[in-house]
Amino acid sequence: MTEVNQHQMPLRHVIDNAEKAMQIAKDAEMAVRHAQVQSDPNQLRAALAELEAAQHALHKAQSQLDAKDNDHHHLELTQVQDQLGQMQQSVDVVDSNTQQPKQVR
């Protein structure tokens, strides 16, 4: 029983890191949206820095999941990878929405 628990710990750690990265990304998205609503350029800069950090966390989590992927845990990892992919797409959309050129007057 001890061997099984020790074997699963690294996988659980990788999944926990992925879940944390997804939460960081959600928080960063909310910060960007809030800064946009407030029309505060300083707040937007800080939120975009947070969003960039979230993107790095998502990429790192994806790399860790890719390294752990094996047949025994394939289903669980696939579900987490799908969630990470969806979150990355969401972050990319928020990021691209902040990169739109300003309207010419």
pLDDT in single tens digits along all 105 residues of the chain: 444 444 555 888 888 999 999 999 999 999 999 999 999 999 999 999 999 999 999 999 988 888 876 656 667 778 888 888 888 888 888 888 787 555 544
Asked if residue 104 belongs to a domain, the reply is no
Number of domains in the chain: 1
User: Is residue 100 left, alpha or beta, with left meaning phi > 0 and alpha meaning psi from -120 to 50?
Assistant: beta
What is the reported pTM? 0.71
pLDDT of residue 104: 45
- How many other CB atoms sit within 10 Å of the CB of residue 22? 22
Dihedral pair phi/psi, residue 18, rounded to 5° = -65, -40
pLDDT for 25: 94
The reply to whether 55 falls in a domain is yes
Asked if 55 and 91 touch (Cβ cutoff 8 Å), the reply is: yes
44, part of any domain = yes
pLDDT at position 19 is: 93
Quick check: 87 and 58 in contact, CB under 8 A?
yes
Vertex 97 angle, CA 15 and 66, to 5°: 20
Q: What is the pLDDT of residue 4?
A: 45
| Residue 79: per-residue pLDDT | 82
Kindly state whether residue 82 falls inside one of the protein's structural domains: yes
Query: What's the domain range around 54?
Result: 2-98
